[in-house]
């Protein structure tokens, strides 16, 4: 059977067959490596989309190895996603000679928060255990070379490895735009507000991803249907890609009909065979209804959509304000470690979007791609003409 045709400007600019990009999803708790590793990224690229590695938690050496692994699995274009939060751009601490080591974050954490987190663990019957020192988040800066910043050290690898596409999930690409453009690397920047959209477009983004609140992981407050046209108007002629709630050809077709050049898709690929997350977390997504996700600052300090669980409920009812990104992760590090040690994996982070309610089968990424492309091509190529009468 002939392959369906579904092309937009995005395909021409990135050298891909279909306007679908795998969201560069980072790690969920309990797994060191990201959800979007080389296996998933390569599977999406091989199926005609753009696979994007979730690069945020990799050290430069690990990132280099994972990029090389993608190349061993596909000869198609792919991307790397990093977070360019200002927290990650500032060089940290003084060099010890071997590299920069941030102070143990627990030293800076408010007593009230530490006590509250211990109480939540007690209330949930979780024996308290301190996480080993070597498990400190990479965000604490343990591997940052002298004179470097967190994202800067990763970016050197992106350039050195001639990664075909760069994506930033947070922050403006401005500090790196010049060097990326000099190397001919297109920049994709994710935003959840019109203000951020204007910032990243001014900062050098070649494509802006308008991510609505439906999305899994870090997310904003505006729905995709409301955000997409506002971002398009704010950044034109820079093209906009839609994200948040795109887990079907129907949603992709809708976004393209609205003027998006493609879809940036996360949750739908969380239930792919290649997604790197524990079976329990995949199963909880497969079992979920659309109402089963909540937005919480528990895990990172920033608003993040997750499948709800009693730990999130306890945090939300504690009345505590979350700490800033970086510190909040440090605050709950021992708690998450204790949960994992106690085998209470149902309490671990399980980021997923509102489309969880329609994700009912675990499949290879290739099938997810084929269904999405087939359905969108059918709608845009045939159904619309049969269902809609319109003229101007």
Ligand X SMILES: Cc1cc2nc3c(=O)[nH]c(=O)nc-3n(C[C@H](O)[C@H](O)[C@H](O)COP(=O)(O)O)c2cc1C
Residue 148 binds to ligand X (criterion: CB under 6 A): no
CB of 99 to ligand X, least distance (A): 23
- Return the H-helix or E-strand segment holding 52: strand 51-54
Q: Is 42 helix (H, G, I), strand (E, B) or coil?
A: helix
Residue 56 binds to ligand X (criterion: CB under 6 A): yes
CB of 49 or CB of 217, closer to ligand X: 217
Residue 211 binds to ligand X (criterion: CB under 6 A): yes
Residue 66 binds to ligand X (criterion: CB under 6 A): no
Q: Quick one: which of 105, 164, 217, 326 contacts ligand X (CB under 6 A)?
A: 217
CB of 121 or CB of 238, closer to ligand X: 238
Applying CB under 6 A, the span of 91-99, 213-221, 314-322, 357-365 interacting with ligand X comes to 213-221
Q: Is 239 helix (H, G, I), strand (E, B) or coil?
A: coil
CB of 174 to ligand X, least distance (A): 17
CB of 389 to ligand X, least distance (A): 32
CB of 55 or CB of 164, closer to ligand X: 55
CA distance 209 to 3: 27
Q: Quick one: which of 11, 21, 24, 299 contacts ligand X (CB under 6 A)?
A: 24
Q: Quick one: which of 6, 20, 23, 43 contacts ligand X (CB under 6 A)?
A: 23
Residue 216 binds to ligand X (criterion: CB under 6 A): yes
Applying CB under 6 A, the span of 13-21, 147-155, 194-202, 350-358 interacting with ligand X comes to 350-358
C-beta of residue 22 within 8 angstroms of C-beta of residue 265: yes
Please report how the helices 249-258 and 365-378 are oriented relative to each other, as an axis angle in degrees rounded to 10. 50
Q: What is the DSSP string of 73-129?
A: H-SS-EEEEEE--HHHHS--S-B-SS-B-PPPGGGGS-HHHHHHHHHHHHHTT----
CB of 382 to ligand X, least distance (A): 25
CB of 37 or CB of 149, closer to ligand X: 37
Cis peptide bond prior to 48, omega within 30° of 0: no
- Residue 130's Cβ-count burial label (10 Å; 0-12, 13-18, 19+) is exposed
Q: Quick one: which of 355, 359, 372, 377 contacts ligand X (CB under 6 A)?
A: 355
Residues 69-88 that bind ligand X (CB under 6 A): 81, 83
Q: Quick one: which of 26, 51, 164, 173 contacts ligand X (CB under 6 A)?
A: 26
CA-only gyration radius of the chain, Å: 21
Residue 215 binds to ligand X (criterion: CB under 6 A): yes
CB of 170 to ligand X, least distance (A): 7
CB of 384 to ligand X, least distance (A): 23
β-sheet bridge partners, residue 307: 293
Q: Is 11 helix (H, G, I), strand (E, B) or coil?
A: helix
Residue 53 binds to ligand X (criterion: CB under 6 A): no
Residues 93-122 that bind ligand X (CB under 6 A): none
Residues 255-284 that bind ligand X (CB under 6 A): 264-267, 270
CB of 177 to ligand X, least distance (A): 17
Instruction: Write down the H helix ranges in the chain.
Output: 9-14, 38-46, 60-73, 86-89, 111-123, 150-160, 174-182, 194-202, 224-235, 249-258, 267-270, 279-287, 310-318, 327-341, 365-378, 384-387
Task: Sketch the per residue contact string, 153 through 182, with ligand X: x for CB under 6 A, - otherwise.
Answer: ----------------x-------------
Residue length of the chain = 392
C-beta of residue 215 within 8 angstroms of C-beta of residue 242: no
| DSSP 8-state code for residue 138 | G
CA distance 216 to 293: 9
Chain residues binding ligand X by CB under 6 A are 23-26, 28, 35, 54, 56, 81, 83, 169, 190, 211, 214-217, 243-246, 264-267, 270, 351-353, 355
């Amino acid at each position: 059977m002939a392959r369906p045709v579904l092309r937009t400007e995005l395909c021409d600019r990135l050298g891909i067959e279909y306007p679908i990009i795998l969201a560069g999803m980072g790690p969920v708790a309990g797994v060191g490596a990201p959800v979007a590793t080389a296996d998933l990224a390569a599977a999406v690229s091989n199926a005609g989309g753009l696979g994007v590695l979730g690069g945020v938690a990799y050290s430069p050496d690990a990132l280099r190895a994972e990029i090389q692994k993608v190349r061993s699995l596909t000869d198609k274009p792919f991307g790397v996603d990093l977070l360019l939060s200002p927290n990650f751009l500032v060089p940290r601490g003084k060099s010890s000679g071997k590299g920069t080591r941030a102070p143990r974050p627990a030293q800076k954490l408010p007593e009230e928060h530490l006590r509250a987190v211990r109480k939540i663990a007690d209330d949930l019957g979780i024996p308290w255990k301190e996480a080993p020192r070597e498990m400190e988040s990479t965000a604490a800066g343990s591997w940052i070379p002298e004179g470097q910043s967190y994202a800067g050290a990763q970016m050197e690898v992106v350039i050195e490895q001639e990664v075909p596409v760069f994506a930033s999930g947070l922050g403006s690409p401005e500090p790196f735009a010049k060097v990326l453009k000099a190397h001919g690397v297109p920049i994709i920047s994710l935003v959840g507000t019109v203000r951020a959209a204007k910032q990243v477009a001014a900062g050098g983004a070649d494509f802006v991803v308008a991510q609505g609140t439906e999305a899994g992981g870090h997310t904003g407050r505006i729905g995709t249907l409301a955000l997409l046209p506002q971002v398009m108007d704010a950044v034109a002629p820079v093209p906009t890609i839609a994200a948040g709630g795109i887990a079907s050809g129907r949603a992709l077709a809708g976004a393209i009909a609205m003027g998006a050049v493609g879809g940036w898709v996360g949750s739908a690929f969380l239930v792919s065979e290649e997604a790197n997350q524990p079976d329990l977390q995949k199963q909880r997504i497969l079992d979920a209804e659309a109402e089963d996700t909540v937005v919480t600052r528990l895990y990172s300090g920033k608003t993040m959509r997750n499948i709800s669980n009693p730990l999130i409920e306890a945090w939300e009812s504690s009345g505590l304000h979350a700490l800033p990104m970086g510190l909040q992760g440090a605050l709950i590090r021992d708690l998450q470690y204790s949960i994992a040690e106690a085998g209470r994996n149902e309490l671990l982070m399980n980021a997923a979007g509102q489309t969880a309610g329609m994700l009912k089968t675990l499949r290879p990424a290739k099938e997810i791609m084929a269904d999405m492309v087939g359905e969108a091509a059918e709608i845009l190529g045939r159904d619309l003409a049969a269902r809609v009468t319109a003229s101007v």
